[in-house]
Amino acid sequence: MARTREFDMDQVLDKAMAVFWKHGYAATSMADIYAATGLKPGSLYAAFSDKETLFRRCFEAYAGHFRSTLPRDRDGLEAISAWLDTQVRLASEDPERKGCLIVNTIAERDQHSEATKALANGRLQEIRDFFARHLAIAAARKSLAPTIDPAREADALTGAVVAIMALGRAGADAQMIAHVAASAAARLGATNQTIKNIN
C-alpha cells in the first residue's frame, strides 16, 4: 500500500522555488532545500528523485506565475506597454532583487540538463510570441509605423524584457530599468506609464 503524502506539494514547490530563485541552481544545495521546506531527504527524493527534477517542477510552477502577469484585458500596443510597465515594476520593486527565474536559468545554462534548457528556451519563445501576437494586432490596425518590421521588433522587445530582468537581478537603479522599457515603447509609438511615474 502506497504511503500517503504528508506535505502540501504546492507549498513545497513555492518554498524550494524561492531558494533556487534567490541563489541560483548551482549555489543551492539540497541542505538549503531541506531547511526551506522542512522535509527530510527521504521525502524529497521520493517525490522528486533528484535536484534537477525538483528544479524543473519549480520552474514550471514559476512559469505559471509568470504567465499570470500577461495582460488579458487589452491587446495591441496597449498590451505591450502594460506588460513592459509590469516587468519594470517587478524588476525594481522586489527588495531581494531576485530577477526572473527564466532569465536566471538561461544564464546558468551550463549547469542544467538539456531538458531544463529546453524548458527555459520555451519560456523565452513564449515571451517573443506574446510580442509577435500583439504587434500583429497593432499592424492590422495600422497603429504601427510602416517602417517597423513586426518580426524584428518582437525580437527587440524580447531582448528589452531580458535586459529589464537582468538589470533587476543586478540591483540596477529603478530609473535605468524604466528607461529600457520607455525606449522600447517609444520605438513603437506607445506610452510607458512607469517612466512617467518615476520621472
Comparing 32-36, 44-48, 116-120, the range with the smallest average pLDDT is: 44-48
Q: Which of 134, 123, 118 lies closest to 165 in space, CA to CA?
A: 123
70-198 belongs to which CATH class?
mainly alpha
Q: Which span out of 2-11, 39-48, 50-59 was modeled with the highest average pLDDT?
A: 50-59
Alpha-carbon separation of residue 88 from 93, 145, 197 (angstroms): 8, 25, 12
Chain region(s) in the chain for CATH 1.10.10.60 = 9-61
* pLDDT-derived band at 191, boundaries 50, 70, 90: low
Would you say 18 and 79 are in contact if contact means Cβ atoms under 8 Å apart? no
Q: What is the mean pLDDT of the chain?
A: 90
Report d(CA 177, CA 86) in Å as an integer.
Answer: 12
- What whole-number distance in Å separates Cα of residue 121 and Cα of residue 117? 6
On the question of pLDDT at 4 being above 90, the answer is no
- What CATH number is given for 9-61 in this structure? 1.10.10.60
